[in-house]
Amino acid sequence: MFSNASQLKEKLSVFSLILLIFLNYFLLLIIKTNFFFLIFGILILLNFVLCIYLNFKNNKFIITIFCVLCVISLMSPVADWDARSIWLFNAKIIFFENNLNNFFDYNPYYSHPDYPIFVPVLSATLATVIGDWNEIFPKFSSLILALPPLIILTKNLKNKLSLLIFIILILFVYEKRIINGEIDALLSLYSILLLNLIIDIVDKKFSDKQYKIDLTLITLNVIIITLLKVEGVAIIFCILFAYLVIYGKSKVDLTKTFMVLFLLSLVPIFYWSIYSNNFIEMTSARMMLGTGERLIHNLFDFKFILHLINKILINKQMFISLLVFVFIFSKGIIFNEKKKIINFDKIIFEKKLRFCFLTIFLYSVVLTAVMIISEGSTYNVPIKYFMADTAADRYFAPIQSMLVLCSIYFLEAKKPKKNSFSYD
Amino acid sequence: MIIIKKNNVKKIYFVLILILIIFQIILIAHRNSFELKYFFKFHLSNIGLKDGIKNQKIFDIVTLIKKNDIKRYNLAEDLFDQKNKFEKIHHKLYQRVIEASYPSKFSENSNIIISLNKKKFSTCELVDKRGNIYVFKC
B99 touches chain A (CB under 8 A): yes
Q: How far is it, in rounded angstroms, from Cα A236 to Cα A194?
A: 9
B88 touches chain A (CB under 8 A): no
Closest CB to A137 among B34, B43, B54: B43
Confidence of residue A3 (pLDDT cuts 50, 70, 90): low
Interface test with A, best of B42, B45, B108 (most A CBs within 10 A): B42
Note whether A198 and A218 are within 8 A (CB).
yes
Q: How far is it, in rounded angstroms, from Cα A193 to Cα B50?
A: 37
How confident is the model at residue A92, as a pLDDT?
93
Contact A136 B38 (CB under 8 A): yes
User: At a CB cut-off of 8 Å and minimum separation 6, what does A215 contact?
Assistant: A201, A257, A261
Looking at chain B, which residue has its C-alpha nearest residue A92? B102
Answer whether residue A99 shows pLDDT above 90. no
Answer whether residue A261 shows pLDDT above 70. yes
Contact A78 B90 (CB under 8 A): no
Q: How far is it, in rounded angstroms, from Cα A7 to Cα A54?
A: 9
Q: How far is it, in rounded angstroms, from Cα A177 to Cα A151?
A: 18
Number of alpha helices (DSSP H) and beta strands (DSSP E) in chain A: 20, 2
Which 3-state string (H, E, C) describes A151-194? HHHHHCCCCHHHHHHHHHHHHHHHHHHHCCCCCHHHHHHHHHHH
Q: In what order do the strands lie in the sheet with B105-106?
A: B105-106, B72-75, B112-115, B133-137, B125-130
Number of alpha helices (DSSP H) and beta strands (DSSP E) in chain B: 4, 5
Q: How far is it, in rounded angstroms, from Cα A384 to Cα A374?
A: 11
Identify the CA nearest to A332 among candidates A357, A309, A315: A357
Contact A92 B32 (CB under 8 A): no
Q: How far is it, in rounded angstroms, from Cα A366 to Cα A238?
A: 9
Answer whether residue A4 shows pLDDT above 70. no
Give the CA count within 13 Å in the CB-facing half-sphere of A408.
Answer: 27
**How far B89 CA lies from chain A's nearest CA (Å)?**
8
> What DSSP element (H or E) covers B136?
strand B133-137
Q: How far is it, in rounded angstroms, from Cα A238 to Cα A39?
A: 38
Q: Which residue has the higher pLDDT, A77 or A415?
A: A77
B2 touches chain A (CB under 8 A): no
- Which of chain B's residues have a Cβ under 8 Å away from the Cβ of A96? 102-103
Q: Is the dihedral of CA B112, B115, B120, B121 positive or negative?
A: positive
> What DSSP element (H or E) covers B128?
strand B125-130
> What is the pTM (predicted TM-score) of this model?
0.92
**How far B70 CA lies from chain A's nearest CA (Å)?**
15
DSSP per-residue letters across B58-100: HHHHHHHHHHTT-SEEEE-GGGS-TT--S-GGGSHHHHHHHHH
Answer whether residue A351 shows pLDDT above 80. yes
SS3 A275: helix
Q: Which residue has the higher pLDDT, A155 or A224?
A: A224
Identify the CA nearest to A120 among candidates A96, A150, A101: A96
Give A415's DSSP letter.
P
Q: How far is it, in rounded angstroms, from Cα A372 to Cα A386?
A: 11
Q: How far is it, in rounded angstroms, from Cα A84 to Cα B54?
A: 12
Closest CB to A136 among B9, B27, B42: B42
How confident is the model at residue A103, as a pLDDT?
83
How confident is the model at residue A416, as a pLDDT?
57
Residues B29-60: pLDDT tens digits?
A: 999 999 999 988 999 988 999 999 988 999 99
Residues A403-423: pLDDT tens digits?
A: 999 999 999 987 655 443 333
How confident is the model at residue A419, as a pLDDT?
40
Looking at chain B, which residue has its C-alpha nearest residue A167? B21
How confident is the model at residue A375, as a pLDDT?
87
How confident is the model at residue A422, as a pLDDT?
35
How confident is the model at residue A285, as a pLDDT?
84
Taking the alpha carbons at both ends of chain A, their separation in whole angstroms is 37
**How far A135 CA lies from chain B's nearest CA (Å)?**
5
Letter for the amino acid at B90? Answer: H
Note whether A334 and A221 are within 8 A (CB).
no
Note whether B42 and A137 are within 8 A (CB).
yes
Contact B48 A72 (CB under 8 A): no
Identify the CA nearest to A172 among candidates A323, A67, A312, A63: A323
Domain boundaries, chain A: 5-278
DSSP per-residue letters across A85-113: IIIHHHHHHHHHHSSSTTTTT---STT-T
B34 touches chain A (CB under 8 A): yes
Closest CB to B106 among A108, A110, A133: A108
- The verdict on whether omega for the bond into residue B103 sits within 30 degrees of 0, i.e. cis, is yes
Note whether A185 and A146 are within 8 A (CB).
yes
Answer whether residue A400 shows pLDDT above 70. yes
How confident is the model at residue B2, as a pLDDT?
61
The 10 Å Cβ neighbour count of residue A100 is 18
Can you give the pLDDT of all 138 residues of chain B as single tens digits?
566 677 788 889 889 999 999 999 999 999 999 999 998 899 998 899 999 998 899 999 999 999 999 999 999 988 887 777 777 778 889 989 999 998 899 988 899 999 988 888 888 899 999 988 999 998
Residues A178-217: pLDDT tens digits?
A: 999 999 999 999 999 999 999 989 887 666 777 888 888 8
Q: Which residues on adjacent β-strands are paired with residue A334?
A: A343
Average confidence score pLDDT of chain A: 88
Question: Span A247-256, mean pLDDT?
Answer: 88
How confident is the model at residue B20, as a pLDDT?
94
Question: Span A301-329, mean pLDDT?
Answer: 93
**How far B84 CA lies from chain A's nearest CA (Å)?**
11
How confident is the model at residue A424, as a pLDDT?
32
How confident is the model at residue A423, as a pLDDT?
34
